[in-house]
Amino acid sequence: MSLLAANLDRIEGQLRDACDRAQRDRDEVTLVAVSKRQRLEAVEEAAVLGVGVFAENYAQALCERMKALPDLNWDYVGHVQSNKAKYLVPGVRLIHSLSTSSGAEALSRRSERERVRTGVLVEVDTSESGPTKGSRTGASADDARELAARVVALPGLELRGLMAMPPPAQDPEDARPHFAQVRGLRDQLQDEFGRPLPELSMGMSGDFEVAVEEGATLVRIGTALFGPREGP
């Protein structure tokens, strides 16, 4: 068994256990393999092993990966800059990390031009001080509510839910209230909009089990699956 296969087997076991604790079905949670700075061969191996969705943090890198491996499902989990919409649409399965109106409007224009409907999540930064310039890119809870309403009104976009970006922490349990906060905000928005928002992108390599217990439907796992990243 390869190291990647062993890592995937361990992660699957953790996901099943977390789902059992939360009394959820395992198929309610999608593993999104974040392949930032990983070899294409590793991505291909993960796909053969059954991983169904992959993601990149940089728009141009994602565009290159989609061209190299067009049969795979590709998500985007990096900052959505207006000038990067051309790299994301068409082709991307889901954008997890929308945090600005300008980004939403650029994606809407590009989606209309390409005659596609692009699925997006609004990224919520739950740190007490809110998003920090230069390091964290999510919207505050109040701004996320306004942005979600804007997305719903824009043509070419489909709001699918929220992405949680809690502050870094050593103990995974420290992320639990942040995941619960984002789940609660999603529930409120569903009531306000009168429509389902089925996706919660919550949890990464260090805290995905807690995220699943708090309702995550998408977990973003990179180094726990692939190992250390290669190169700059």
Which amino acid belongs to residue 225?
L
Residues 6+ apart with CB under 8 A from 96: 32, 55, 75, 76, 77, 121, 123, 163, 201, 218, 220
pTM, 2 dp: 0.94
- β 118-125/94-98 pair status: parallel
pLDDT bucket at 204, cuts 50 / 70 / 90? very high
Tell me how far apart the alpha carbons of residues 159 and 122 are, in angstroms, rounded to a whole number. Answer: 8
Query: Nearest CA to 198 among 214, 209, 186, 211?
Result: 186
| 32-54 tens-digit pLDDT | 999 999 999 999 999 999 999 99
For 130, counting Cβ atoms within 10 Å of its Cβ (0-12 exposed, 13-18 middle, 19+ buried), the class is middle
**pLDDT given for residue 44 in this prediction:** 97
pLDDT bucket at 229, cuts 50 / 70 / 90? confident
Tell me how far apart the alpha carbons of residues 108 and 26 are, in angstroms, rounded to a whole number. Answer: 33
Q: Taking residues 3-19, report their average pLDDT.
A: 98
For the chain, list the domains and their CATH numbers.
3-127+136-225 (3.20.20.10)
